Amino acid sequence: MTSVAPRVESLASSGIQSIPKEYIRPQEELTSIGNVFEEVQKEEGPQVPTIDLKEIESEDKEVRERCRLELKKAAMDWGVMHLVNHGISEELMDRVREVGQKFFQLPIEEKEKYANDQGSGMIQGYGSKLANNASGQLEWEDYFFHLVYPEDKRDLSIWPKTPTDYTEITSAYARQLRGLASKILSALSLCLGLEQGRLEKEVGGLEQLLLQMKINYYPKCPQPELALGVEAHTDVSALTFILHNMVPGLQLFYQGKWVTAKCVPNSIIMHIGDTIEILSNGKFKSILHRGLVNKEKVRISWAVFCEPPKDKIILKPLPETVSETEPPLFPPRTFAQHIEHKLFRKTQDALSK
């Protein structure tokens, strides 16, 4: 046995009517967890913006700049958006969903052969969250986590062998996403008045920017109003790209309220992560978000985190984003130190409750 972590999938299929206490959110959080389907039916209120990338590389300078301005507004205001006309084919996205879903349809014993071992630092593979504080709080999801780009840094030996086309499809998607990431980084650089290749270089470029895919598998939950699939967090990445199976659940904390993201066909959700927030000195936002679960449908999402190398780069506001009236909002830290700092703060917060 490589892991003793309980799988949420086995809990969910055991027929329990009430969830174990480890999955129940603290009292102060419960009041904000509504039913996702009730939430989604309300049409009023702010919505995650949709950005059409069709014109982002137009020959026409004015057309190009108009498109870029929309992206800039969304990045500054929400820090998250639905990307449409992003250039990745519907067919490829469907196949990514298909191969991931097929892997999760395997019996748990089959998936356990791919179990990660967080204790010994083997974070890639099939896993579930381990309780990391005194409260023992857990999340209603299992996942599969693996590095998908650059190709020479992949460990294909731990990738799902079933279905047989998993590697081919997922690799093709990663390659396409890497191209999209470059396009976005280039546009965001221009939005900040920087040279077009600047942000790409600042996050490590083609060689060092790591694309890590996390397939989030959220089983049906008998008491969805008491649990979370993913607890509230901001992504530490530079950018995150998310594909999902069209079941709602992602919520964004916008202007003091939790907003449920609508499902936009053929879109890819993109988050600005902490790394770009830091480099832009807070001009682009890394928004707080979380994932709800539900009784009726399994929800699956494919998040790809584009991350700078852990220790090689010191992240801090770029000099061009700092002025006398806009002092640096973030101290210099490596990516690893940034993660460490967040963890430390979270622990302190928990202790002071």
Residue from the set 141, 142, 200, 235 that interacts with Ni ion by CB under 5 A: 235
Residue from the set 178, 214, 283, 285 that interacts with ligand OGA by CB under 6 A: 214
Question: Choosing from 72, 86, 111, 214, which is the catalytic residue?
Answer: 214
Under 8 Å between Cβ of 125 and 111: no
Is 198 a binding residue for ligand OGA by CB under 6 A? The answer is no
Phi-psi region of 87 (alpha: psi -120 to 50; beta: other; left: phi over 0): left
214 is annotated as an active-site residue:
yes
Is 230 a binding residue for ligand OGA by CB under 6 A? The answer is yes
Residue from the set 293, 301, 321, 335 that interacts with ligand OGA by CB under 6 A: 301
Q: Which stretch binds ligand OGA (CB under 6 A): 14-22, 172-180, 243-251, 315-323?
A: 243-251
Is 235 a binding residue for ligand OGA by CB under 6 A? The answer is yes
> What is the nearest approach in angstroms of ligand OGA to the Cβ of residue 288?
10
Question: Choosing from 235, 244, 285, 338, which is the catalytic residue?
Answer: 235
Between residue 255 and residue 294, which ones bind ligand OGA under the rule CB under 6 A? 289, 291
Rank residues 67 and 304 by Cβ distance to Ni ion and give the closer one: 304
Q: How many residues of this chain interact with ligand OGA, rule: CB under 6 A?
A: 12
161 is annotated as an active-site residue:
no
Residue 214 partner contact from Ni ion, ligand OGA, none using kind-dependent CB cut-offs of 5 to 8 Å? ligand OGA
Rounded Cα gap, residues 75 and 132, in angstroms:
32
86 is annotated as an active-site residue:
no
Residue 216 partner contact from Ni ion, ligand OGA, none using kind-dependent CB cut-offs of 5 to 8 Å? ligand OGA
- Of all residues in this chain, which one has the CB nearest to Ni ion in the complex? 235
Q: Which stretch binds ligand OGA (CB under 6 A): 97-105, 174-182, 242-250, 336-344?
A: 242-250
Question: Choosing from 72, 244, 271, 289, which is the catalytic residue?
Answer: 289
In degrees rounded to 5, what are phi and psi of residue 337? -65, -35
Residue from the set 181, 242, 270, 279 that interacts with ligand OGA by CB under 6 A: 242
Binding site residues, ligand OGA, CB under 6 A: 214, 216, 230, 235, 242, 244, 249-250, 289, 291, 301, 303
Binding site residues, Ni ion, CB under 5 A: 235
Catalytically active residues are 214, 233, 235, 289
